[in-house]
Amino acid sequence: MTDAAASPAVDRSPLANRIVDTLIHRIGKDERVARKHDWLDATILTLRDEIIDKWMESTRAAHASGAKRVYYISLEFLIGRLLRDALSNLGRNAEVKAALASLGVDLDEIEEIEPDAALGNGGLGRLAACFMESMATLELSAYGYGIRYVNGMFRQRIDDGWQVELPETWLTHGNPWEFERRESAYFIGFGGEVTSNAAGRVDWNPAEAVEAVAFDTPVVGWRGKRVNTLRLWSARAFDPIRLDAFNAGDHAGALAGQVRAEALVRVLYPSDASAAGQELRLRQEYFFSSASIQDVVRRHMQYFGDIRLLPEKAAIQLNDTHPAISVAELMRLLLDHHELDFDEAWDIARRTFGYTNHTLLPEALESWPLPLFERLLPRHMQIVYAINAQVLREAARSGAADGGAIAAISLIDENGERRIRMANLAFVGSHSVNGVAALHTELMKQTVFADLHRLYPDRINNKTNGITPRRWLMECNPRLTSLIRDAIGPAFCDDAEQLKLLESFANDASFRERFGEVKRSNKVDLSNYLREDQGLRVDPDALFDVQVKRIHEYKRQLLNIIDTVALYDQIRSHPERDWVPRVKLFGGKAASSYHNAKLIIKLANDVAKRINSDPAVGGLLKVGFIPNYNVSLAERIIPAADLSEQISTAGMEASGTGNMKFALNGAITIGTLDGANIEIKDRVGDDNIVIFGLTADEVAETRRAGYSPRSIIENSRELSQAINAIASGVFSPDDPGRYRDLMSGLYDHDWFMVAADFDAYAAAQRTVDARWRDRGGWQASAIRNVANVGWFSSDRTIGEYARDIWNVM
């Protein structure tokens, strides 16, 4: 026990006393035996009590004003830890820190043990989390709907260089943030049959059903102005146990219903390699869509009483196609429960929904085998046919669509095995379809949705993604935040575009100096973490070159690794040259069934092992793979980055948001003209970003003209040497053939154009070296990045959704 904890209770602040009271009465521990987790829970519960008052107030205000509500439906919410976020947004950080200190508890330490809510996979899920925070900040009345996964995204461990997937157990200690709403439960049916009577009344009699139960987490906006709700659905069986079977000795069978229900909410993206896995995913999607839509309709009827007013009182945004079945579900409720006719129901649905597209990759566009869909959701199948008939009639009437266009517009893909196209369902069922960066939106019009765009030319619009500057600057980078505040005052805390005022400080040598010291301190922190966590020693004065994001071939971690190998080669051949010391950091998860992505992780680790132990590079080059990239690690890594790797094949990254986080924290981007990189370049200026490689048009043109990577590789000495070294086992002496196929893929097809962009990338990296040597010039560029990326605040993005799509501002 510390001295502070021994001090008499009378000296403590009221807040400290409340925390102790919570510890005793809600956790059931006293101060002497409380562990860190108990203090964490007591702190969260104490804070939560205060948040609840604001929450109720927000709900009452929404009811009183009759305001339109926004519903954001997303299979992923990558919210990360919540304590620091809530404290910071409520402006209570210093006070809570002092109260805990008087109890002998270190706030930073307990913040660090809060589990990371890993209810998402990557950018799409983090976007949903940033949006929730910005919607509360802009004081919109908004709800997020998702799934309360018990395990969520897997936890990644690296064993001997290989990714190992472990269940994420974020709920082990319970979740003090959430409220279970036992009263908000909905019936979710599957299978069975549909009957209709003579009067045309349709009845769906599902063969099977589970109950969706709501768990609510409060989302606090900046300055605590408003508290919104993130409602996550859990599943339970109607009969948790069949007592007859149990008593007859069939214990497992008696519990099977509950097990089946729980499987729905176990993990995000269960493997769809098996038919059972595919079915589970469709069940998951219907489960959370149906619960959400039923909840929206129930709330609407409770407050407004007239289903026809739904589009005026509710805006439902579909985050990608995972919740696209919501369109058919709302139609079902309107037709079968509210007994509207088809035309009126269709008009209401279209005016209520908006759809955000996140990818143009054909393999990522969801579609379901028709027989599976029909068996699991027979009533929705009928509705999809009816919607399709309506849309194809409109297409025929428009005269704009020939046979090919009709086939592309159809909700049913007739090529080979018939499948339901979820993107087409989302598109036709929404009044707004948006892309997430200017280039991506243009490409949507030209590629995946070309025919639908011709039919509905006003529907596609752009909403360039954003990030919340609270988490991604103020909370993750307190040093930079206070430096900025000292320079330009606090206005940027309420309006990120005020960061613009920092621009003139780029020319101020003493400010540049202080800016450099902040970055260095952040790098020292990260270096300490890398040493303690992985035994990796890096020099904080080296250039920190970082690529952290999901591992995917289109993101081209391989381009970066091959360049690393080429650089290694050159350093060994010319140790006398004036090399810029670099630390290359990688991090990210590979989908569990994605073979090449997992092999790329192993390659990064193999290359790291060899380079880091080679005395010939003399510490000029270090390589690290940071396991289990998640929000909390991102908050640690990004403030310490000098160089941000955003090197996707042009045309393939819809937007990126990692690129925005890095720039906001004073890293310089090396990147292709892809996604939001283009808009970042437009704002920070050509001199403050390093752009290389083919444009999206050039990629498309190169493919059309017949791309031959082999001749490119053979003509580039650096590239062929690096590829051949990897292919011949230089980095995998224990299994020399490990990378043979991965490398021969580059020779044979190289779909992601690694070879085409390699020389340009290597040259761009030498430009980076040259700029780094000019320390003042580098700092000035980094400062200009911070100053000019305030526009990428998710407050700006949400303002645009609110005005253009939801009609709530």
Ligand X SMILES: *Cc1c(COP(=O)(O)O)cnc(C)c1O
By annotation, the residues acting in catalysis are: 358, 549-550, 555, 657, 661
Near ligand X by CB under 6 A, which window of 58-66, 326-334, 572-580, 650-658? 650-658
779: CB partners within 8 A, 6+ apart: 506, 512, 513, 515, 516
Q: Are 106 and 772 in contact (CB under 8 A)?
A: no
Q: Which class for 352: exposed (0-12), middle (13-18), buried (19 or more C-beta within 10 A)?
A: buried
The least CB distance from residue 772 to ligand X, in Å, is 22
Which region, judged by CB under 6 A, interacts with ligand X, from 58-66, 295-303, 377-385, 626-634? Answer: 626-634
> Which C-beta is closer to ligand X: that of 310 or that of 600?
600
Query: Candidates 118-126, 139-147, 375-383, 683-691 — which segment interacts with ligand X by CB under 6 A?
Result: 118-126
Amino acid code (one letter) for 516: G
Q: How far is the CB of 422 from ligand X (least distance, A)?
A: 22
What DSSP letter does each residue of 160-198 carry, written as one string?
TTEEEEE---TTTT--TT-EEEEEEEEEEEES-EEEE-T
The one-character DSSP state at 672 is: -
Sheet of 367-369, strand order: 367-369, 419-421, 412-413
> Sign (positive/negative) of CA torsion 739, 741, 744, 745?
negative
Q: How far is the CB of 272 from ligand X (least distance, A)?
A: 21
Q: Which span sits near ligand X by CB under 6 A: 120-128, 222-230, 348-356, 679-687? A: 120-128
CA proximity to 579, closest of 624, 538, 617? 617
| Interatomic CA distance for residues 132 and 74, integer angstroms | 11
Largest alpha-carbon pair distance within the chain? 90
Return the residue nearest ligand X (CB atom): 658
What is the token pair recorded at 379? 């009533």
Q: Residue 219 or residue 634: which is nearer to ligand X going by CB? A: 634
- Min dist CB 83 to ligand X, Å, is 17
HSE-CB at 201 with a 13 A cutoff on CA atoms is 7
Q: Which is nearer to ligand X, 122 or 666 (CB)?
A: 122
- Minimum Å gap between C-beta 787 and ligand X is 21
656 sits near ligand X (criterion: CB under 6 A): yes
Show the DSSP H helices in 646-715 as ranges. Answer: 658-664, 677-684, 696-705, 709-715
Interface with ligand X, residue 788, by CB under 6 A: no
> Radius of gyration (Cα) for the chain, nearest Å?
27
Residue 146 or 192: the one with the smaller Cβ distance to ligand X is 146
The minimum distance between CB 61 and ligand X, in angstroms, equals 32
* Dihedral angle sign, alpha carbons of residues 322, 328, 334, 337: negative
By C-beta, is 332 or 661 nearer to ligand X? 661
Strand 419-421 and strand 412-413: the pairing is: antiparallel
Phi-psi region of 693 (alpha: psi -120 to 50; beta: other; left: phi over 0): left
Please say which residue, 459 or 550, places its beta carbon nearer to ligand X: 550
By CB under 6 A, which span of 7-15, 16-24, 526-534, 630-638 interacts with ligand X?
Answer: 630-638
Which one of 230-238, 570-578, 653-661, 728-736 is the stretch in contact with ligand X (CB under 6 A)? 653-661
Q: Quick one: DSSP state of residue 581? A: P
Distance in angstroms (rounded) separating the CA atoms of residues 331 and 343: 10
- Is residue 453 close enough to count as binding ligand X by CB under 6 A? no
Residue with tokens 């035994």: 535
Query: Which is nearer to ligand X, 77 or 511 (by Cβ)?
Result: 77
Both tokens of 652, joined, read 């393939």
Size of the site for ligand X (CB under 6 A): 13
Span interacting with ligand X, options 12-20, 274-282, 575-583, 655-663, rule CB under 6 A: 655-663
Structure tokens at 138: 């802009």
Q: Does 671 bind ligand X (CB under 6 A)?
A: no
* Residue span binding ligand X (CB under 6 A) among the ranges 187-195, 215-223, 488-496, 651-659: 651-659
Is residue 657 a contact point for ligand X (CB under 6 A)?
A: yes
Task: Give 116 or 750: the residue with its C-beta nearer to ligand X.
Answer: 116
> Of the two residues 192 and 469, which places its CB atom closer to ligand X in the complex?
469
Beta strands in 191-304 (DSSP E): 193-196, 202-205, 208-220, 227-237
Contact between 630 and ligand X by CB under 6 A: the answer reads yes
In the complex with ligand X, which residue's Cβ is closer, 120 or 378?
Answer: 120
Distance of closest approach, residue 398 Cβ to ligand X, in angstroms: 37
Q: Pick the piece of the chain touching ligand X (CB under 6 A) from 2-10, 13-21, 119-127, 688-696.
A: 119-127
Residue with Cβ nearer ligand X (359 or 657): 657
| Contact by Cβ (8 Å): 696, 716 | no
Closest to ligand X by CB, 75 vs 621, is: 75
C-alpha span between 603 and 611 (Å, rounded): 12
Nearer to ligand X, 192 or 658 (CB): 658
Least distance (Å) between residue 466 CB and ligand X = 11
| In contact, 690 and 543? CB cutoff 8 Å | no
- Of 154, 180, 278, residue with least CA distance to 234: 180
CB neighbour list of residue 14: distance below 8 Å, 6 or more residues apart:
none
Least distance to ligand X, CB of residue 634, Å: 4
Query: The tokens 């709403």 sit on which residue?
Result: 181
Q: Which of 84, 471, 512, 549 binds ligand X (CB under 6 A)?
A: 549
Q: Are strands 432-435 and 353-356 parallel, antiparallel or unpaired?
A: parallel
Q: Quick check: 466 binds ligand X (CB under 6 A)?
A: no
- State the nearest-atom distance from the C-beta of 583 to ligand X, in Å: 19
One residue of 349, 411, 433, 634 binding ligand X per CB under 6 A: 634
Site string for ligand X, 229-268 (x = CB under 6 A): ----------------------------------------
Ramachandran quadrant class, 339 (left: phi over 0; alpha: psi -120 to 50; beta: rest): left
Local structure of 679: helix, strand or coil: helix
Instruction: Enter the DSSP assignment of 420.
Output: E
Element (H, E) at 316: strand 314-319
Instruction: Give the three-state DSSP class for 646.
Output: strand
The angle that helices 677-684 and 775-788 make with each other, rounded to 10 degrees, is 110
The site string for ligand X over 122-161 (x = CB under 6 A, - otherwise) reads xx--x-----------------------------------
Q: Are 709 and 747 in contact (CB under 8 A)?
A: yes
Work out which of 658, 671, 693, 790 binds ligand X, going by CB under 6 A: 658
d(CA 481, CA 471): 11
Q: Which of 265, 546, 617, 631 is in the footprint of ligand X by CB under 6 A? A: 631
**Count of alpha carbons within 13 angstroms of residue 433, beta-carbon side:** 29
Residues at the site binding ligand X, with contacts judged by CB under 6 A: 122-123, 126, 549-550, 629-631, 634, 656-658, 661
